[in-house]
Copies of this chain bind each other. A is one copy, B any other.
């Protein structure tokens, strides 16, 4: 493979995670090792920044700041949910790449982002513009195919499991046997995050909280839910529920506002957690329900991130650069679990087009028969992903995060209206 001399461009896309910046750090750190890489640029707000030629010079950032990216939440380069559609947009991307001699493009994101990367790569090939494109997986949703798990997932479930265990201490202390404590977590289409709350249970203590986990994979049934809760309240001092925001009924409708209107004759704003809270309060006399909705907290909780996850996110960034230098393109880095009992993780590659059009479901056989708890297969899968704690530096009592200088790369093209 002939050495390809040129510049690197890194972009971030989709919802941030606690460790997406660790992948940027991995890319920058590895890029410094290769002389064929001349400049390392970042695109501000993903493809939006590429269209607008809003690029920053990452090589001019201090090493402290790049190191600090490993524990900084959000997306330090900015991100976007913009999806390239028009042929003119793709042409513009190539125009910007050519103007800045971008020969290596690393895009950190989920399905849509990998689809975008794939299309950019194919256009470059059509135009005989030598470009190596490697995707880096990122999503708290853990729904990318071909990779054992996704950077971002381990940290969100470590945080949710920690939170579930802490709230359990609080609820148990009240000791009145009439408290239902609900935590609504992210996950529009799959229950990966809610399932992760099961890690709050101690080994061989299946009755530990969370007592009930409601997943999008199992159609929600109000009557069964009430029976589930009554059963737990009979046995335990309180009932802890973790519910996925993407809960649906047997018709596939989200359990939320409209469903509540039908059931109780008044409109309800809010999601599945609010619904279950209402369900309890309206049907179980004397039982109190408390709801926690971490919302954006869960994907930004760098202070409680998994070291395994942050390390793998960094590793995935490094692997992307190594693969591109080797001559690979049109690939996404994958995480590959070793097949021994002792958890190990290496990186692999899959084709971008495979990722772009598939999602990985939470296996139905990892959910117990009762529909509200996870079995040992899930626990064996998820437990290694939350091991270790990231050492976040604190300054004056709060976590100290990276702030990039974002020195702009001079624009050379006319402005573009997307």
Are B292's CB and A297's CB within 8 A?
yes
**Taking the nearest CB of chain B, how far is it from the CB of A160, in angstroms?**
10
C-alpha spacing A389/B296, complex, angstroms? 23
Q: Which listed residue, B73, B79, B269, B274, touches A174 by the CB 8 Å rule?
A: B79
Are B162's CB and A80's CB within 8 A?
no
Are A294's CB and B294's CB within 8 A?
yes
Are A158's CB and B398's CB within 8 A?
yes
Query: Which of chain A's residues 274-330 have a Cβ closer than 8 Å to chain B?
Result: 274, 278, 290-297, 299-304, 306
**Given A78-B175, A167-B297, A169-B300, do A270 and B270 touch, yes or no (CB 8 Å)?**
yes
C-alpha spacing A12/B297, complex, angstroms? 30
Q: Which listed residue, B167, B278, B394, touches A296 by the CB 8 Å rule?
A: B167
**Taking the nearest CB of chain B, how far is it from the CB of A201, in angstroms?**
9
- Asked if A199 is at the interface (CB within 8 A of a chain B CB), the reply is yes
Are B293's CB and A401's CB within 8 A?
no
- Number of A residues near B (Cβ < 8 Å) is 67
C-alpha spacing A13/B190, complex, angstroms? 40
Q: Which residue of B lies closest to A395 (CB)?
A: B202
- Asked if A350 is at the interface (CB within 8 A of a chain B CB), the reply is no
**Taking the nearest CB of chain B, how far is it from the CB of A217, in angstroms?**
23
**Given A158-B398, A304-B304, do A73 and B170 touch, yes or no (CB 8 Å)?**
yes
- Asked if A166 is at the interface (CB within 8 A of a chain B CB), the reply is yes
**Taking the nearest CB of chain B, how far is it from the CB of A140, in angstroms?**
11
Are A303's CB and B300's CB within 8 A?
no
C-alpha spacing A306/B394, complex, angstroms? 11
Q: Which residues of B contact A72 (CB under 8 A)?
A: 169
- Asked if A87 is at the interface (CB within 8 A of a chain B CB), the reply is no
**Taking the nearest CB of chain B, how far is it from the CB of A24, in angstroms?**
12
Q: Which residue of B lies closest to A45 (CB)?
A: B175
Q: Which listed residue, B169, B171, B386, B396, touches A401 by the CB 8 Å rule?
A: B169
Are A170's CB and B74's CB within 8 A?
yes
Q: Which residues of B contact A168 (CB under 8 A)?
A: 74
Q: Which listed residue, B44, B296, B303, touches A162 by the CB 8 Å rule?
A: B303
Chain A residues near B (Cβ < 8 Å): 12, 16, 44-45, 72-76, 78-81, 158, 161-163, 165-176, 181, 183, 199-200, 203, 266-270, 274, 278, 290-297, 299-304, 306, 383, 386-389, 394, 396-399, 401
